[in-house]
């Protein structure tokens, strides 16, 4: 093939000036050229290097003709950044943000501006990846350890994880944890009637598929008759009541059941901890620790347990270990519980969690300290007590005498009227039923709000006078009598100057996209443009309660509907639900839809989920959560699904086949041929096809899973292909997209009927539209790119991966290729031969890349002993070449080990990464100090210094420490 120079498409073309040239200016879409790294010249060079003449020629050769989308999809043409911001402002203005006193797990809070600007709005935090490479993630790992310490101290339990997705899914995880770890032989899970309604609903959705019977009961007078394996209690109750849970916890333990308490962390600063009352598990949200309500999310959920349950915990856990010099260092602990290792035997399907929000909540506690948090809690409580006092004085019945922040008032037949009057005064209250209204105070409550509420009830009062005469409503026997947050970190960053420097110090330890390329296959670490991030902190988006009356959220709903519609057009599906707040949750929602569809057809025996052995770990874990049996399909020599084995399994499970779950392009980064025949064979046997759409960055504009590929359902990861930043391990959005026949079984929500079909499977997340506040990011991205720009982005992503494959192939074997020896948007290089011959492992190469100033590619997934590289369209040729040069230089170092020039146990790879500390002192290695710290291509003045040397993960798993270690532990430093 003769390379030819492609016609210039856009980039950096200088527009003519003079009469009539405005037309050209209006047509220009400069953002595409900002998002896509390689400009026209660079693209031409890359195309020439791999022997193609144009992007179209390349993708025609790479993508099998049978699935190529013949016509594009209809989306509005690209707009400029200024135009899109103006459109967003207009949408935002259509949201009416009232003062929320709705409560139910979502509360007004003041985000300290130092945290907003230096965490939430700081790419050093929000563009980081999940801390799998701990040596370059010490900053966020420390921040997460702070978070875990906050949760364990306040709940009075031993171990807390580094965030779950929200309170309701955390409660559902607690249910399955209790079933796994408990002794009781029962299928009953008791949920107290005072549990948040959305939590009850999420727990029911999860329980149904697992054959768990949920019994909702008032446990004030004891547990219902019969056995149960677990109990869930809310503390304080949704109705505001604070009561001693000790008796019911003891009764549950007497039956061999485990008890989970969904607890409000702010209340726990003044109330006795669940752990002190005997609870085994505590769950909840950390939203009110400085994270805006955000119309439902994202926020960090939490889960804490007694020590004996640690190994059964779901989700990520940060622990303390040591590095090669024996210095303390943080890393993810007990990963063998997780889906990426344990697959269908994992403790949960959680992958992406809520790291950025957990960092914010932890920092809120660091900034306020224990006394600051307790005074926020006491102030919140005083307002509630005064509010109740005023209602009582005005003759309104207040249902409970003991409460923290929530007052339930009885107004026979008048609830609607009170709610309307409050709305007219600018306040949303919570409708309980026709006779009851609940009012929740928070950190942002003011005298004027209390007076407005009184007015809505037709009473009046004097806040100051009532404050003087009203006693606290916290039960004296349940006051907290133990210290919390005694660690110095919660006492030393209390001035803004100190906080600013602490945040900077931590961020400086980490490698994020603001430093360089993160070429992680399957993770699509592309540009998260500033303009896309801007709207998420606008008050019209940030300060909305998820259960506010929908007519106050007109702008949000238009944005949500528009985004769902665009995603349906892009993927070729009929309907999209944006509720799942991670890819794993989209998988569960999609599989539950398949299950419900089969059941509706009377096919209740269809419970087999076929999954290729190369699949992402979440697939198998999600299938188990959807009540399915996982049957593994072999992978052939060439990396494709083994078709003979697949057909054998189809025959074997013809009558019980529910679904095939397959990733496309494959997890091997290849456009497999014949996917449409695979889909047809599954359909012929009565099964459904689930295409894991996390790799959509290779498909947008080129092929549609719901189109010619022929799948029935997919989830997409908006935090990969659609520019939501990875946040150091979350947030994410994992929409589920379906063909029309599955649309009746999408998620819905008990508190917002417009959020899903009446016939739906129930909620999959706590909030009706999941992590609504980050949906402006993909919405903005689609508007800025337009259909042409989106297609070009995909084409350049494919170009980048093929360019890297071509450059590295002479040095490292490229494991799999598809049509015409091309890869899709990522490529796998095989180090197994090298490891066998030299002892140099993928780990060594990954850690050595740190010395060269790079984040490692994905290690040993989907094939052990390999590296999977995904450049994305956003990296320009200079950065891609810098990476290839580093890899080639590393191969040179490996060759020196192979030749015996460098000893196998003392070489720059085995000892990587090298820290700044190694610049001082004795140097007794077989290679030079310069080679160690300033390898080829590294400019000393621009060097990224890892703060620790290689971390011994196993040591930390053997000696588990999951909260802030005493300061003396750092003596070595």
Ligand X SMILES: *Cc1c(COP(=O)(O)O)cnc(C)c1O
Closest to 207 measured CA to CA, from 171, 182, 233: 171
Residue (725 or 786) nearer to ligand X, CB: 725
Smallest distance, ligand X to C-beta of residue 188, A: 30
Residue (165 or 248) nearer to ligand X, CB: 165
Question: Which listed range, 176-184, 195-203, 581-589, 910-918, lies at the site for ligand X (CB under 6 A)?
Answer: 581-589
For 549-604, where are the alpha helices, taking DSSP H only? Answer: 554-571, 583-600
Euclidean distance between CA atoms 581 and 573, whole angstroms: 20
Residue (338 or 875) nearer to ligand X, CB: 338
Regarding 669 and contact with ligand X (CB under 6 A), the answer is no
> From residue 544, how far is each of 541, 555, 776 by CA, in Å?
6, 11, 14
Regarding 122 and contact with ligand X (CB under 6 A), the answer is no
Smallest distance, ligand X to C-beta of residue 730, A: 8
Residue (734 or 913) nearer to ligand X, CB: 734
Smallest distance, ligand X to C-beta of residue 473, A: 42
Identify the residue among 134, 583, 727, 744 touching ligand X (CB under 6 A): 583
Residue 614 CA from chain centroid, whole number: 22
Smallest distance, ligand X to C-beta of residue 663, A: 5
Task: Sort strands 427-428 and 99-100 into parallel, antiparallel or unpaired.
Answer: parallel
Residue (146 or 663) nearer to ligand X, CB: 663
Residue (695 or 838) nearer to ligand X, CB: 695
Closest to 289 measured CA to CA, from 368, 379, 383: 368
Question: Which listed range, 383-391, 556-564, 691-699, 765-773, lies at the site for ligand X (CB under 6 A)?
Answer: 691-699
Residue (454 or 816) nearer to ligand X, CB: 816
Q: Lay out the site mask for ligand X across 724-743 (x = CB under 6 A, - = otherwise).
A: --------x-x---------
Residue (236 or 665) nearer to ligand X, CB: 665
Residue (390 or 731) nearer to ligand X, CB: 731
Question: Which listed range, 72-80, 506-514, 689-697, 815-823, lies at the site for ligand X (CB under 6 A)?
Answer: 689-697
Q: What is the rounded (10 degree) CA torsion for 730, 733, 736, 737?
A: -130
733 Cβ contact list (under 8 Å, min separation 6):
578, 580, 581, 582, 717, 718, 719, 724, 770, 771, 774, 775, 778
What are the b/e assignments for 955-970, b being 16+ CB within 10 Å? bbbeebbbbbbeeeee
146 Cβ contact list (under 8 Å, min separation 6):
362, 363, 365, 366, 489, 490, 964
Kindly state the tokens that stand for 552. 């106050």
| Residue count (the chain) | 973
Residue (531 or 582) nearer to ligand X, CB: 582
Residue (97 or 303) nearer to ligand X, CB: 303
Smallest distance, ligand X to C-beta of residue 169, A: 12
Degrees to nearest 5, angle at CA 692 with 688 and 694: 160
Euclidean distance between CA atoms 264 and 289, whole angstroms: 10
> From residue 887, how far is each of 116, 850, 877, 909, 937 by CA, in Å?
37, 11, 15, 12, 11
Residue (270 or 356) nearer to ligand X, CB: 356
Q: Lay out the site mask for ligand X across 921-960 (x = CB under 6 A, - = otherwise).
A: ----------------------------------------
Degrees to nearest 5, angle at CA 448 with 442 and 453: 75
DSSP secondary structure, 125-193, as one string = HHTPPPTTSGGG-HHHHHHHHHHHHHHHHHHT-SEE-S-BS-HHHHHHHHHHHHHHH------EEEEET
Regarding 352 and contact with ligand X (CB under 6 A), the answer is yes
Smallest distance, ligand X to C-beta of residue 506, A: 23
Closest to 540 measured CA to CA, from 295, 289, 290: 295
Smallest distance, ligand X to C-beta of residue 726, A: 9
Q: What is the rounded (10 degree) CA torsion for 480, 485, 491, 496?
A: -90
Smallest distance, ligand X to C-beta of residue 667, A: 6
Residue (312 or 695) nearer to ligand X, CB: 695
Identify the residue among 355, 694, 699, 775 touching ligand X (CB under 6 A): 694
End-to-end CA distance of the chain: 59
Smallest distance, ligand X to C-beta of residue 855, A: 16
Identify the residue among 43, 269, 428, 522 touching ligand X (CB under 6 A): 522
* 30 close to 24: Cβ distance less than 8 angstroms: no
Which residue number places its CB atom closest to ligand X? 583
Report 603-622 residues binding ligand X (CB under 6 A): 616, 618
Interface with ligand X: number of residues (CB under 6 A): 16
Report 827-886 residues binding ligand X (CB under 6 A): none
Residue (583 or 701) nearer to ligand X, CB: 583
Regarding 692 and contact with ligand X (CB under 6 A), the answer is yes
Question: Which listed range, 67-75, 502-510, 580-588, 701-709, lies at the site for ligand X (CB under 6 A)?
Answer: 580-588
Euclidean distance between CA atoms 72 and 56, whole angstroms: 13
Smallest distance, ligand X to C-beta of residue 712, A: 17
Beta-bridge mates of residue 230? 189, 258
Degrees to nearest 5, angle at CA 615 with 854 and 611: 175
Consecutive H or E run containing 88 = helix 81-93
Identify the residue among 406, 717, 795, 841 touching ligand X (CB under 6 A): 717
Regarding 287 and contact with ligand X (CB under 6 A), the answer is no
Question: Which listed range, 577-585, 674-682, 683-691, 783-791, lies at the site for ligand X (CB under 6 A)?
Answer: 577-585
Smallest distance, ligand X to C-beta of residue 682, A: 19
Question: Which listed range, 92-100, 236-244, 690-698, 899-907, lies at the site for ligand X (CB under 6 A)?
Answer: 690-698
Please, what is the angle between helix 776-808 and helix 55-62, to 10°?
80
Q: What does the binding site for ligand X look like in residue numbers (CB under 6 A)?
A: 351-352, 522, 582-584, 616, 618, 663, 667, 692, 694-695, 717, 732, 734
């Amino acid at each position: 093939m003769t390379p030819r120079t492609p016609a210039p498409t856009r980039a950096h073309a200088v527009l003519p000036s003079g009469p009539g040239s405005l037309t050209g200016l209006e047509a220009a879409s400069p953002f595409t050229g900002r998002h896509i790294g390689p400009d026209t010249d660079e693209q031409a060079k890359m195309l020439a290097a791999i022997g193609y003449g144009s992007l179209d020629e390349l993708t025609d050769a790479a993508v099998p003709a049978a699935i190529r989308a013949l016509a594009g999809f209809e989306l509005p043409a690209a707009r400029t950044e200024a135009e899109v911001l103006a459109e967003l402002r207009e949408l935002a203005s259509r949201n009416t943000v009232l003062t929320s006193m709705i409560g139910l797990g979502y509360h007004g809070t003041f985000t300290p501006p130092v945290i907003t600007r230096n965490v939430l709005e700081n790419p050093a935090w929000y563009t980081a990846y999940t801390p799998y490479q701990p040596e370059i993630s010490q900053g966020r790992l420390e921040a997460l350890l702070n978070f875990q310490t906050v949760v364990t101290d306040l709940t009075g339990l031993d171990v807390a994880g580094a965030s779950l997705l929200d309170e309701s899914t955390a409660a559902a995880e607690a249910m399955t944890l209790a079933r796994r770890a408990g002794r009781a032989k029962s299928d009953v899970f008791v949920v107290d009637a005072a549990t948040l309604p959305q939590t009850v609903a999420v727990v029911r959705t999860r329980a149904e598929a697992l054959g768990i019977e949920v019994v909702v009961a008032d446990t004030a007078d004891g547990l219902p008759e019969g056995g149960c394996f677990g109990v869930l209690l809310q503390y304080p109750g949704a109705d505001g009541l604070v009561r001693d849970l000790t008796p019911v916890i003891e009764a549950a333990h007497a039956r061999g059941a485990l008890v989970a308490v969904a607890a409000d962390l702010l209340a726990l600063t003044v109330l006795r901890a669940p752990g002190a009352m005997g609870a085994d598990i505590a769950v909840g949200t950390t939203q009110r620790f400085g994270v805006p309500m955000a119309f439902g999310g994202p926020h960090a959920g939490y889960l804490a347990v007694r020590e004996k349950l640690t190994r059964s915990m779901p989700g990520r856990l940060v622990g303390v270990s040591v590095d090669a010099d024996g210095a303390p260092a943080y890393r993810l602990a007990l990963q063998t519980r997780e889906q990426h290792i344990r697959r269908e035997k994992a403790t949960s399907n959680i992958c992406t969690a809520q790291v950025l929000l957990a960092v914010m909540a932890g920092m809120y506690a660091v900034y306020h300290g224990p006394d600051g948090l307790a005074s926020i809690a006491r102030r919140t409580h005083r307002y509630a007590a005064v509010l109740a006092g005023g209602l009582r004085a005005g003759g309104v019945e207040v249902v409970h005498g003991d409460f923290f922040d929530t007052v339930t008032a009885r107004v026979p037949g008048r609830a609607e009227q009170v709610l309307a009057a409050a709305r007219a005064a600018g306040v949303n209250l919570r409708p309980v039923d026709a006779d009851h209204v609940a009012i929740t105070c928070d950190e942002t409550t003011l005298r004027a709000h209390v007076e407005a509420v009184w007015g809505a009830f037709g009473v009046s009062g004097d806040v100051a006078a009532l404050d003087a005469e009203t006693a606290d409503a916290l039960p004296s026997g349940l006051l907290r009598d133990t210290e919390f947050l005694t660690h110095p970190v919660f006492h030393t960053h209390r001035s803004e100057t100190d906080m600013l420097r602490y945040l900077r110090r931590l961020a400086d330890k980490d490698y994020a996209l603001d430093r360089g390329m993160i070429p992680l296959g399957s993770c699509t670490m592309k540009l998260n443009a500033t303009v896309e991030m801007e709207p998420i902190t606008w008050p019209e988006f940030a300060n909305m309660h998820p259960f506010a009356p929908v007519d106050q959220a007109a702008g949000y709903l238009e944005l949500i509907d528009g985004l769902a519609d665009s995603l349906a057009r892009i993927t070729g599906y009929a309907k999209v639900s944006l509720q799942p707040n991670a890819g794993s949750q989209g998988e569960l929602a999609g599989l539950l839809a398949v299950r419900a569809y089969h059941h509706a057809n009377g096919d209740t025996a269809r419970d087999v989920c076929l999954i290729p052995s190369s699949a992402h770990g979440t697939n198998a874990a999600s299938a188990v959560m959807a009540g399915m049996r996982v049957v593994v399909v072999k992978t052939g020599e060439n990396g494709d699904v083994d078709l003979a084995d697949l057909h054998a399994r189809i025959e074997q499970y013809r009558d019980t086949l529910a679904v095939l779950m397959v990733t496309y392009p494959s997890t091997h980064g290849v456009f497999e041929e014949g996917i449409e025949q695979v889909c047809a064979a599954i359909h012929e046997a009565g099964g459904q096809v689930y295409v894991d759409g996390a790799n959509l960055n290779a498909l947008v504009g080129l092929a549609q899973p719901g189109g010619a590929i022929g799948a029935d359902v997919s989830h997409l990861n908006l935090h990969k292909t659609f520019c939501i930043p990875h946040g150091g391990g979350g947030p994410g959005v994992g929409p589920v997209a379906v063909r029309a026949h599955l649309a009746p079984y999408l998620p819905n929500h008990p508190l917002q009927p417009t959020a899903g079909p009446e016939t739906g499977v129930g909620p999959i997340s706590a909030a009706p539209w999941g992590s609504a506040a980050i949906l402006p990011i993909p919405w903005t991205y689609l508007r800025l790119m337009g259909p042409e720009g989106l297609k070009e982005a995909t084409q350049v992503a494919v170009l980048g991966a093929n360019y890297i494959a071509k450059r590295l192939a002479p040095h490292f074997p490229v494991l799999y290729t598809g049509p015409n020896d091309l890869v899709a948007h990522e490529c796998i290089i095989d180090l197994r031969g090298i490891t066998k011959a030299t002892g140099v492992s993928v780990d060594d190469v990954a850690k050595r890349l740190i010395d060269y100033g790079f984040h490692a590619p994905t290690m040993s997934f989907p094939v052990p002993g390999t590296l999977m590289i995904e450049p994305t369209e956003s990296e320009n040729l200079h950065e891609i070449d810098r990476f290839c040069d580093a890899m080639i230089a590393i191969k040179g170092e490996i060759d020196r080990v192979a030749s015996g020039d460098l000893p196998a146990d003392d070489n720059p790879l085995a000892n990587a990464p090298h820290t700044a500390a190694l610049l001082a002192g004795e140097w007794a290695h077989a290679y030079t100090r310069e080679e160690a710290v300033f390898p080829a291509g590294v400019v000393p003045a621009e060097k990224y210094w890892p703060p620790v040397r290689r971390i011994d993960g196993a040591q930390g798993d053997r000696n588990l420490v999951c909260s802030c270690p005493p300061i003396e532990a750092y003596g070595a430093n």
